[in-house]
Amino acid sequence: MDLQDTPSAEPLHVSAREADLPPDDGDPTEPSGGLDPALDNPAWSSLTGHHAGLAIGNELVRRFPEDVSPFVGIRDWDHPDVWDAILEVFGHGASVGVSHADPLLPEGWAPVFSIPGVQLVQTERVRARPDEEAIELGAADVEDMLALTERSRPGPFLPRTHVLGRYVGIRRAGRLIAMAGERLHPAGWTEISAVAVDEDHRRQGLASRLVLDVAFGIQQRGDRALLHASATNTSAIAGYEKLGFALRRRLTFGAVRTP
């Protein structure tokens, strides 16, 4: 099954129907990642660890540069100074990404959007392997990567998103027709992201092949792979589960506007 047979596998666009997923019992079990704080707060773990060199912010709030990623790391939503810390980083009237949390907003703050999502993690059933047709992508490929993600809408991909990790793609007749890569790097894990396939080349298994190629590179470094998806995108979730990824938890993606 090609993971791109359906709309975006990432939490950007959602449909009105509810996801056909088992209820969250609040007690994740192995091999689904257990009670790993890095998985519970992957943006913060990434921005204070592997991606600390890209981080902008303070001791409670960190973000990526605007041309890299919209994801924001919040150390502790219950800290009494967290809202002032967000204002220090973003200023007034700004849209702030809120992932893996659904905080109670103070007066003057407003929700922008909220999307139910899921987090899936690699299990021993994932048969990660390099793909012989995959090529590594970099700065010279950005124009083509942006064009492909604009056409296929796999989630936010910006001019310098590629600096977050290793990206691979498949070209045919010189045209980039499929890609996937790495985004957040919480401790011990690496997120697979930007899984995109041109509409004319779907149902050929290209997305699955590239996911397994990226997972192989992650595995070679000693990390495990994780994925995030819109909870309504049940076809993509089923495709990831078929590859051997397991549902770890439900979560919320969204954004709030500062006063």
C-alpha of 90 from chain center: 22
In this predicted structure, what is the pLDDT of residue 188? 97
* Class of 3-24+120-251 in CATH: alpha beta
In this predicted structure, what is the pLDDT of residue 32? 58
Residue 129 β-bridge partners: none
Alpha helices in the chain (DSSP H): 37-40, 42-47, 82-90, 142-152, 206-220, 234-243
In this predicted structure, what is the pLDDT of residue 97? 92
Rg of the chain on CA atoms, in Å:
18
CA dist 2 and 201 (Å) reads 10
- Share in percent of the chain as helix, strand, coil (round to 5): 25, 30, 45
Instruction: Identify the three-state secondary structure at position 43.
Output: helix
Whether the CB-CB separation of 216 and 129 falls below 8 Å is answered with yes
In this predicted structure, what is the pLDDT of residue 20? 34
Which residues, 6 or more positions from 146, have their beta carbon under 8 angstroms from its beta carbon? 157, 159
CA dist 88 and 57 (Å) reads 8
Write down how long the chain is: 259
In this predicted structure, what is the pLDDT of residue 215? 98
DSSP state of 246: E
Q: Which of 62, 32, 17, 66 is nearest to 44 (CA)?
A: 62
Residue 182 β-bridge partners: 192
Q: Which of 134, 119, 124 is nearest to 214 (CA)?
A: 134
In this predicted structure, what is the pLDDT of residue 100? 75
Whether the CB-CB separation of 74 and 40 falls below 8 Å is answered with no
From first to last of the 259 residues of the chain, give the pLDDT tens digit. Answer: 345 433 344 443 222 222 333 444 444 334 456 779 999 999 999 999 999 999 999 999 999 999 999 999 999 999 999 999 999 999 999 999 988 777 899 999 999 999 999 999 999 999 999 999 999 999 999 999 999 999 999 989 999 999 999 999 999 999 999 999 999 999 999 999 999 999 999 999 999 999 999 999 999 999 999 999 999 999 999 999 999 999 999 999 999 999 9
CA dist 210 and 200 (Å) reads 17
What value, to the nearest 5°, has the Cα angle with vertex 187 and ends 167 and 55? 70
Q: For CATH 3.40.630.30, list the domain ranges present in the chain.
A: 3-24+120-251
CA dist 162 and 149 (Å) reads 12
Give every strand in the sheet of 61-63, ordered side by side. Answer: 56-57, 61-63, 72-74
